[in-house]
Amino acid sequence: MRGQASLYKVLDELQIEFSYHEHPAVPTVEEAMKYWKGMEATKCKNLFFRNHKGNKHYLVIIEHRQKLAIRDLEQRLKQGKISFASEKRLDKYLKLTPGSVTPFGLINDDDNHVHVFLDKNLRNSKKISFHPNINTASLVLSYNDFIKYMDWTGNSYEFIELY
């Protein structure tokens, strides 16, 4: 299976079942949509931001069709001015590359530095899908198992209303 071996080890240890789907590299949601046939799950956009000082980083997870204006997001997050984090920061905190952003990258955040904001609507999902730290595969797991994984990471997270 493609992706980070330590991720699969963690999922196994947590007894999280998933289905695995290989596909060509998909750096954007628009590209990924071509390969989602048969994947019955909520697909997500995963956005990595930093605050204006660069000392706080946020992973924002929303349903893939949702539009998001950064200024609106700033008001909802109440974290001050934010912008997309650089490729260097993405590598430093999550050990990921652009196009492969996923909450599974939190296994690489040893200091639990990244705070996660989850769209409240994701709670309505039975199954949810993310890349396994590489954008040439996708994993589908139950929403409850995803929350079990999030709790395991030790990273802080919260649900916010984004519509």
Question: For the segment 78-99, what is each residue's pLDDT rounded down to a tens digit?
Answer: 778 999 999 999 999 999 999 8
pLDDT at residue 143, rounded to an integer: 97
The per-residue pLDDT for range 103-138, each reduced to its tens digit, is 999 999 999 999 999 999 999 999 999 999 998 999
Domain ranges of the chain: 5-160
33/55 Cα distance (integer angstroms): 34
CATH domain 5-160 topology: YbaK protein (3.90.960)
pLDDT over 70 at 163, yes or no: no
Q: Torsion angle, CA of 23/16/122/40, rounded to 10 degrees? A: 40
The pLDDT score that the predictor gives to residue 29 is 73
